[in-house]
Amino acid sequence: MEELGGYRLIEELGAGGMGVVHLGIDGGNSPVAVKVLHPHISSDETARRRLAREVRTLRRIKHPRIAEVLDAELDSDRPFIITEFVDGTTLSEDVRGNGPFQEDELVHFGHALLDALNAVHDAGVIHRDLKPANVMIMDGEPMVIDFGIAQVADEVKVTATGLVMGTPGYLSPEIADGKPSSEKTDWWGWAATMVFAATGRNPFGSGPLEAVLGRVAMGRADLEDVPARFVPLLRACLEPKPERRPSGAMILQALVDIESGRVPELGGGTSAQIPRADGVGSAGPYPGQPRAQNGPPQTAVGMPAVAQQSAGQHGGAAVSSRGAPMAGAPMAGAPADAPPVPSANGQGPAQHPGERPYGALTLDEAARQQRGQSSPNGYAGAAYAGGPYGPGQPGPQGQMQPYGQGQPLDAPAYSPYSAQGRRLPGAAWFLLALNLFAIAFTALGPLLVAAVMLLWQVVARTAGRLRAARRRRFVEYGPQAATGWSAVARAPGSALASILTSTLSLILPTTAAVAAAVLAWLDVVGIVPEGRNAEWSLWCAALVFGVVLWLGPGSQNLRLGSRVLVSPLVRSPRAEWTGAIALVVLAGLAFTTVLGGASAVWWPSPESPFEILPEPGL
């Protein structure tokens, strides 16, 4: 076993532009990631000195969403960097295995990446290489790894040979042009990574390097299939000119808007389009410019405080230091004598008709603006944000208000550590092994397996319904409407609906399984070993039943619920593979037991149903 600087190298995990990454073991037998630098970097004395300074800075970053830099040896013949080992899958692998993120998962993911990058920037470092391969998903949570081409922010640019590198489509225009990077370089990478998470595609497509870089330089990102509320934000972040991109504070406010069920409308130096009802951005005076509004101007999301003067100077609403409209300040264009409305909690300054938090639009309001219609309060595109009803609380006629509507502006923002939008592990191999075990055990206790399967189906469908309902309430009304108590209240109704659905969904797989069992019993094809008709009939029936049930009508909720049930057991790829291997071993033991002469136990039935069938070969 190779050893390097006191670390044992177990296996190679991958290679990048900076070096080769190995799984290593430190002196305390803890796993670490060992990045051994490429020779063209290790032979460059200037690059090594710069990396040494950078590593010293990176070691000060302690954050739960960032793989910590633990050690480094850059003066040896084989320089290396030691980082925390993240036992998970890359974002690329996760999306490939589990599909693109849903909107609530995307909100959670965006908050988490934003939080991690803010911690990096607070240390004076620019990551510069954020991409799906550098984001790990562990236990449903993202972690940022590989500061391969990170740059200390107070250095003007990277000139060392081999350090200006990156992945086309995730490499910002300024880096591709050899220009200085800044925090907004990482917001570009944040948006590109978000587009991949939402669509499973590279944001600027594929093809020759020149073609991809040309689309990057023109800002021609492919945002098809991106959730509509995210389109303006991601388009603004992928603006080729860094000065036109939103800041971290603006992105945070926009994420809060999206979580509140609104389309963020970005301003203050950025360009963003509000999608039409058909999902196409509206045309402004020039491509990418925000469309003109028919009603009162909206406040830019998170406008820098230095530009926030009186509302009269800008023709817009007064804004707070957080970039949100200040309660009690009417929107420009609203009637001067409009009476103030008490804040949602009865405290603090009042709000006025026409005011909205963060200047955001709902999807309905965006479509209404496109048609030139007015909102119910008389202003095109202006929502009534005040009222005596708190977020997620019953409004007039007992209706729920969307989260964020009527919310006090000093209310705490959504925490990026909330588990509401956490991504479920895929668990594909574990569930496949579980099905294989059930099929193998069917030949030993068919009725027992059938009973357990029916119970699993009801519980899984109930769990799937509850998770889907929680996600809907989370998106529409916010985290406080998606608590455990709401799930408890919905559980009885979800269970009854699952019992009915399970009963109906059994018709097709049961019919197919009975047909398969009869054909195997009669050995129509002539491939069943002599004297093994009963066992092979049960295995064939179980296989056909499982395939039809898992992939047939109404199976989507069953698969979702099954992932929910097994998620505590497969929090990491290693846990999933360990569980899957254990189940495969148990399945093998069941097969061996049956082939060794064990017969099926039909309890609680007194006799085997095969006795009513004609003997094979007759």
Burial 30-69 (b: 16+ CB within 10 A, else e): eebbbbbbbeebbebeebbebbeebbebbeebebebbbeb
Structure tokens at 82: 């030691």
**Locus of tokens 């319904």:** 465
Structure tokens at 431: 């569930």
Per the DSSP assignment, residues forming a β-bridge with 33 are 23, 83
Q: Rounded to an integer, what is the distance from CA 109 to the centroid of its chain? A: 5
Is 35 known as a binding-site position? yes
User: Which residue, among 52, 72, 83, has the nearest Cα to 5 in the 3D structure?
Assistant: 72
Q: Where are the alpha helices (DSSP H) in 15-102?
A: 39-42, 45-58, 91-98
Say if CB 568 and CB 576 are below 8 A apart.
Answer: no
Please give the Cα distance from 469 to 95 (Å, whole number): 23
Taking phi first (over 0 means left), then psi (-120 to 50 degrees means alpha), and beta for anything else, what does residue 372 get? left
How many residues in total does the chain contain?
618
Q: Where are the alpha helices (DSSP H) in 123-223?
A: 173-176, 183-199, 209-218
**Strand-strand pairing, 31-37 and 80-84:** antiparallel
- Do you find a cis peptide bond into 412, omega within 30 degrees of 0? no
Question: Strand, coil or helix: what is 226?
Answer: coil
Count helices and strands (H / E) in the chain. Answer: 18, 13
Q: Hey, what amino acid is at 221?
A: A
Cα 360–Cα 484–Cα 497 angle in degrees, nearest 5: 100
For the annotated binding site for ATP, the residues are: 35
For the annotated binding site, the residues are: 35
